Amino acid sequence: MAAIMSAMQVSSAAAIGGRSSFSRSTRSGRHCTGLTNFKAPASTRRSLIRVEAKDGLQEAVDRSTKVEITRDDILRNQEENQSEKQSVFGAVPSSGGFYPRPEIERRPETGDRSLGSIFAFDGAAPETINGRMAMIGFVWALLAEKATGLGVLEQVMNPGAAGLVNFVAVVQIFTFASIVPILKGESTDARRWGPFRAQAERWNGRLAMIGFAALIIDEAIRGMPFISALH
C-alpha cells in the first residue's frame, strides 16, 4: 500500500509539473508534449497491484493458519514431554550428539537450519517428506492399478509406463516445497487449519508408509496387483 501511495504522489506531482510547463510553453508560443497527462507505466501499476494482492493474501493465510512457536515453548515441551527425555530406543538426548538431539537443537525455529541438520535422522525433513510421498504414492498406486491393471512395481519398471518418470518429478516438487518453510525457520507444527494439523499429518504419513510397504509385499507374494486380487 505504501508503494501504491508513493506512485500516486509521484503521478500527482508529475501531472502538476506538466500542467505548469504546458501553461508556460503555451504562453511563449512553444508546443509542449508529454507531461500534462502523466501516468505510471501500465507494467508498474500491474506490479504494484500484484505486490499488494500478494501481501494481503499472505497475511490472510498467516492469520488463519500460523501458530507462533517460541523458544520458551520448545524448552517447556522439552522438559515436560516424556518422549523428549528419552527416545523409543532408550537413548537420552545429548547436546551436540548425532542422535537423538535435544528438541531445541533440531527444531527449525531455534536449531541449525543447514541441509545436513534438517536431513539428519532426527531432523525436520525426512519424516515430513517421506510421509507426504507415502500418502501420495499409496493413493496414486491404487488409482493407477485400477486404471491400468498394473501392480506397483510394474507401474515403475514397465517400459511402456511413465510411472518412474512421474514419481521422480513428484518427489522433486514435494521435496522442494517441504524444505523451503523449514529453511525459513518454520516447522510443520507452526501451521494448522481446522483438522489439518502436524500431528495428524505425521500419523497419516506413518500409516501410509506402512500401507505402501504392505501393498508392495502383498503384490510380491500374490504375484498380482492388489486391486485384481480383490475380485
Are the C-beta atoms of 215 and 226 separated by less than 8 Å? yes
**Sequence letter at residue 150:** L
Average pLDDT, rounded, for the chain: 77
Quote the CA–CA distance of 218 and 139 in Å, as a whole number. 16
Per-residue confidence band for 146, with pLDDT thresholds at 50, 70 and 90? confident
Q: Does residue 217 or residue 194 have the better pLDDT?
A: 217
User: pTM of the predicted model, to two decimals?
Assistant: 0.66
Q: Does residue 58 or residue 177 have the better pLDDT?
A: 177
Task: Evaluate the CA torsion angle 129, 131, 135, 138 in order and state its sign.
Answer: positive
Residue 185 buriedness (CB in 10 A; 0-12 / 13-18 / 19+)? middle
